[in-house]
Amino acid sequence: MARTPVNVTVTGAAGQIGYALLFRIASGQLLGADVPVKLRLLEIPQAVKAAEGTAMELDDCAFPLLAGIDIFDNPTDGFAGANVALLVGARPRTKGMERGDLLEANGGIFGPQGKAINDGAADDIRVLVVGNPANTNALIASAAAPDVPAERFTAMTRLDHNRALSQLAAKTGTTVSDIKKLTIWGNHSATQYPDIFHAEVAGKNAAEVVNDEAWLADTFIPTVAKRGAAIIEARGASSAASAANAAIDHVHDWVNGTPEGDWTSAAIPSDGSYGVAEGIISSFPVVSKNGKWEIVQGLEVNEFSRARIDATVAELVEERDAVKQLGLI
């Protein structure tokens, strides 16, 4: 019997990440090669025409799994019946904008989107926030959706995870598939902490293989944490294909599970594990089992890691307090 299509809502569908993402979703890479999808593209009214152009191209690919495309300019319709929601569209920081202004502008997007998800999405809705500041935007959306379990709101640090895999593979002369159990902690920002102390390179402890704390502190961590800015500097635009790729990885693993013997990184609501303030949406080492993220427990946190986890968590707590003060959560 043919399977019922899964409704996937993508916001910011006419943007550059949207363009790199939609074709991969429609080809089956998000959910599986046997899972039909219906795309629901959500854009602001001025960008609907561009989204229509992308939809024409999607049609022209004749993807066997693509069961329909609808385009919306309001969240109520955009999220109706959604099973998966990729919140990509966001208000970028512009010249002269303070952090508070940015949080407030995004609150105006993610609050109403959270409410629309609360009121109209399917019971099994899973949300991935990509639009920056992703962790706090996810918190705002979740706060506006009291009837949806908080665990269904996540933010993307998989791109940071993938960046860290590549950097560590290059340093150790291995390939990314030789590396396991790497972790991104905290915020998707320059304070994030890519942690290799529990990672393995071809079965050996990564920190021991590298055996170079100066490289870790002065090269690896800043390279990963500032990679987004380096891409903007080089391309003149923020990462798009790699961001779309990470979104695919995140949702694919959430729905289908993570491989045995490994974990990944995702920003999920903290339950207080590892001293991370409860309720903030922070990146952790995670596995996905039976369609749910679980924080990997029992890892020893050394002094080097503790200070860095605390710093990135402190930034998230500040962001949470700022949006609370603005009445956004």
**Site for ligand LMR contains 128 (CB under 6 A):** no
The contact pattern for ligand LMR, residues 140-179, with x = CB under 6 A and - = no contact, is -------------------x--------------------
Nearest C-alpha neighbor of 86 from the set 39, 120, 118:
39
Contact predicate 38/8, CB 8 Å: yes
Q: Which residue, 40 or 91, has its beta carbon nearer to ligand LMR?
A: 91
Residue 48 binds ligand NAD, judged by CB under 6 A: no
Q: How far apart are CA 174 and CA 201, in angstroms?
A: 8
Question: What is residue 98's DSSP assignment?
Answer: -
Q: Which stretch binds ligand LMR (CB under 6 A): 238-246, 256-264, 286-294, 307-315?
A: 238-246
Complex with ligand LMR: residue 125 or 159, whichever CB lies closer: 159
Of the candidates 131, 113, 135, which has an alpha carbon nearest to the alpha carbon of residue 42? 113
The reply on whether position 103 binds ligand NAD by CB under 6 A is: no
Q: Closest approach of Cβ 137 to ligand LMR, in Å?
A: 12
Give CA–CA dist 169/262, Å, rounded.
16
Tell me if 285 contacts ligand LMR by CB under 6 A.
Answer: no
The answer to whether the beta carbons of residues 311 and 191 sit under 8 Å apart is: yes
**Residue 138 and residue 267 in contact, taking contact as beta carbons nearer than 8 Å:** yes
Nearer to ligand LMR, 107 or 228 (CB): 228
Does the protein bind ligand LMR through residue 27 (CB under 6 A)? Answer: no
Q: Does 88 bind ligand NAD (CB under 6 A)?
A: yes
**Interatomic CA distance for residues 250 and 206, integer angstroms:** 23
132 binds ligand LMR (CB under 6 A): yes
Q: Does 14 bind ligand NAD (CB under 6 A)?
A: yes
- For position 71 contacting ligand NAD by CB under 6 A, the verdict is no
Say whether residue 141 binds ligand NAD (CB under 6 A).
no
228 in contact with ligand LMR (CB under 6 A): yes
Which residue is closest to ligand LMR by CB?
Answer: 228
Is 188 an active-site residue? yes
CA 200/CA 190 separation, integer angstroms? 24
How far apart are alpha carbons 320 and 329 in whole angstroms?
8
Which CA distances in Å does 80 have to 84, 97, 193, 205, 290?
A: 11, 33, 36, 47, 25
DSSP string for residues in 16-39: HHHHHHHHHHHTTTTT-TT--EEE
Min dist. Cβ of residue 61 to ligand NAD (A): 20
Does 92 engage in binding with ligand NAD (CB under 6 A)?
yes
The C-alpha atoms of residue 31 and residue 86 are separated, in whole angstroms, by: 13
C-alpha dist (Å) from residue 82 to 40, 86, 127, 291: 8, 10, 10, 16
Residues in binding site? 12-18, 93, 99, 106, 113, 130-132, 163
Residue 129 C-beta: closest distance to ligand LMR, Å: 12
Residues with a known catalytic role = 188
Footprint of ligand NAD on this chain (CB under 6 A)? 11-12, 14-18, 42-44, 47, 88-90, 92, 109, 130-132, 134, 156, 159, 188, 238-240, 243
> Which residues of the shown chain bind ligand LMR in the complex (CB under 6 A)?
132, 159, 228, 231, 238-239, 243
